[in-house]
Structure 1
Amino acid sequence: MQVLGLYGTPILLVFNVLSWFAAKNFLWLGKDMPNSAHGAFFAISAVLAAASFFQFIVEFSDEFWDWEDEGKSVASLRLDLELAEERRILEARRLTPSAVERQASYKERTPAEVERLRKESRYYRRVHLWMQWLLFFSSAGVSAITAWYDPPQPGKGALIFLGFTITVITAAVGYFKPRERAFNLQQTADNIEQHVNAIDLGIAPYVQADAANLELFATNVENMRVEQRKREQQLDQPHQGQQEVV
């Protein structure tokens, strides 16, 4: 976030200034630009300029920081991670636990898998909501600009942009299907959590010995994960391909 703010804020400042000139030359060509529009662009530029100035001061002043980046490259960090993973695998091979212990360890890792599925579900749900809101505002903007500007100049450029936005969002929603992905991920997470609670409480179907319960639990969770991957593959297929897979 620090790097994003450091480089993104000046870019937004330049984009806002360019938008200011573009609005004056395209939307109000040959006319006086309203003072409210000038004031809005100026206020946004002032805020972005102040934020950029403050961030550069903070970034390059040692007084604000009691730590310093080690300067280690990403490639070096990735190599250290791969070496640590190799050492872990070798140690695991040397001390290979029994099947029951591995199943118990698998059960302890299941809540993290549930959280991962829910996190991805929330991500796709937010993507779907943003697409839908942008689609709503773009559709409403087309109607509003068409009714406001008659003849269509100088709103023709805005109409073209909004129409392009609607087309892109509609195609993206139909292709990526974020709502369906969010629903499938949330459903799988809820089902796995139900089995976790069932084995913790010792209720059906986990009413046997501990070893048998762990084996059944691992089997059920793996089956649900396989079904989740199949649903994701079906969403990636064209409509005709989905029917053939089903």
Structure 2
Amino acid sequence: MPESGNSIVDLNNKIVLLKSYMESARRKSVYGTLLIATGSIGAIAYVVDYFTLDWQGIAPYVKLIILGTFVGLLTWGIALRANPGVKVREPELSNELVTSDRNGYRTASQLEIELRRIRDKKKDQTPNSDEDVDERRKSYREEATFYIEELRRESQYYRNVSNIVQGIVIVGSLLGSFMAASSFFVREYSWFVAINSLAIGIASGFAGYWKYKERSFYSQQTADLIEHEIESFDLQIGRYEKGGTEEKNLLFAREILRLRQDQKMREQNLDQPSSSGEEAKK
């Protein structure tokens, strides 16, 4: 039985790593698409201005700088899309993968296939008899630890995005107020004023729709609650002071499942429009 338990813990670790790589591969794909879209729109706008509008409000050298920036973004996006996916750097994990790679890179869909395969392998190694239920509950503690790490990575990611978006809104608002009060900027750099206003609107829209700050808060809150539950279980305090070992394991597994279910419900509410989200909470 200990060998099986160690094997299950190892598989849990691989599952968490694959989830992390999947998230990185998906983010890379999204970033590549956004960069290509932004670069293409900018390059098209430059061509339209060059052949039709010939906007005199921008100096020629500034137009070339803007064109170079958009071409750089377009090239960067194409490079990301040309090598989709990520490299799995852990030898103990990469040697076990069965999907074919492209120059060492595997896409999010390939990693999802690997994740399903390892989960099926974990199910095959998990004891199924009634007398081994308690052993499975003990192994659930390790899975809860990995889930904490996953939640904290999500929380840090959403926190970083929220800080970037809020920074764009704050700095852009201050710059917009300063430029609006200066006739020089309005006259000579009206294009910058327009781009600044557009950036503020886009950042505000993303912050309001995706609710990055709330997602970060809920992920961190759930991670802290699960960590507190694990510490109480290890120290046998609080709700784990009384009862037998089997009863404590059952109580621990039940509480962790409840916290995970609450987190899923919060994520679903955040994915809904504001009105629908309020109705769902009720």
TM-score normalized with structure 1 length: 0.67
Q: 1:83 to 1:176 in 2, by over 3 A?
A: closer
Tell me the distance in 1 between the aligned counterparts of 2:154 and 2:57: 41
Q: 1:89 to 1:181 in 2, by over 3 A?
A: same
Tell me the distance in 2 between the aligned counterparts of 1:228 and 1:97: 31
Structure 2 unmatched runs, 5+? 1-23, 44-48, 50-54, 73-100
The residue type paired with residue 118 of structure 1 is: R
Q: CA RMSD for the aligned pairs?
A: 4.0
The CA deviation string for residues 161-193 of structure 1, in whole angstroms up to 9 with x for no partner, is 111111111111111111111111111111111
Would the aligned equivalents of 1:114 and 1:192 in 2 still touch at CA under 8 Å? yes
1:71 Cα shift?
4.2
1:186 maps to 2:220: yes
Q: 1:231 to 1:88 in 2, by over 3 A?
A: closer
Tell me the distance in 2 between the aligned counterparts of 1:84 and 1:170: 40
Deviates more, 1:191-200 or 1:95-104: 95-104
Would the aligned equivalents of 2:156 and 2:216 in 1 still touch at CA under 8 Å? yes
1:120 maps to 2:150: no
**Aligned counterpart, 2:258:** 223
Of 179, 182, 197, the residue aligned with 1:148 is 182
**Aligned counterpart, 2:233:** 199
Q: 1:180 to 1:70 in 2, by over 3 A?
A: closer
Would the aligned equivalents of 2:151 and 2:223 in 1 still touch at CA under 8 Å? yes
Structure 1 unmatched runs, 5+? 49-68
**Aligned counterpart, 2:89:** none
Would the aligned equivalents of 2:165 and 2:203 in 1 still touch at CA under 8 Å? yes
Q: 1:91 to 1:101 in 2, by over 3 A?
A: closer
**Aligned counterpart, 2:247:** 212
Note the 1:42-81 alignment, pairs <5 A.
Answer: 71=103, 74=106
1:91 Cα shift?
4.1
Would the aligned equivalents of 2:58 and 2:189 in 1 still touch at CA under 8 Å? no
**Aligned counterpart, 2:95:** none
Q: 1:177 to 1:153 in 2, by over 3 A?
A: same
1:29 maps to 2:63: no
1:135 maps to 2:165: no
1:96 Cα shift?
8.7
Query: Percent identity among equivalent residues?
Result: 27
**Aligned counterpart, 2:81:** none
**Aligned counterpart, 1:163:** 197
Tell me the distance in 2 between the aligned counterparts of 1:151 and 1:74: 48
Q: 1:141 to 1:187 in 2, by over 3 A?
A: same
Tell me the distance in 1 between the aligned counterparts of 2:118 and 2:161: 35
Tell me the distance in 2 between the aligned counterparts of 1:82 and 1:170: 37
1:95 Cα shift?
8.2
1:92 Cα shift?
3.8
Would the aligned equivalents of 2:57 and 2:190 in 1 still touch at CA under 8 Å? no
Give aligned pairs, total: 204
Tell me the distance in 2 between the aligned counterparts of 1:85 and 1:212: 27
3-state SS of 1:205 partner:
helix
Q: 1:198 to 1:94 in 2, by over 3 A?
A: closer
1:131 Cα shift?
0.4
Deviates more, 1:171-180 or 1:82-91: 82-91
1:98 maps to 2:122: no
1:26 Cα shift?
5.9
The CA deviation string for residues 99-157 of structure 1, in whole angstroms up to 9 with x for no partner, is 10000000122111111111111111111111000111111121222233348222211
Q: 1:91 to 1:171 in 2, by over 3 A?
A: same
**Aligned counterpart, 1:235:** 270
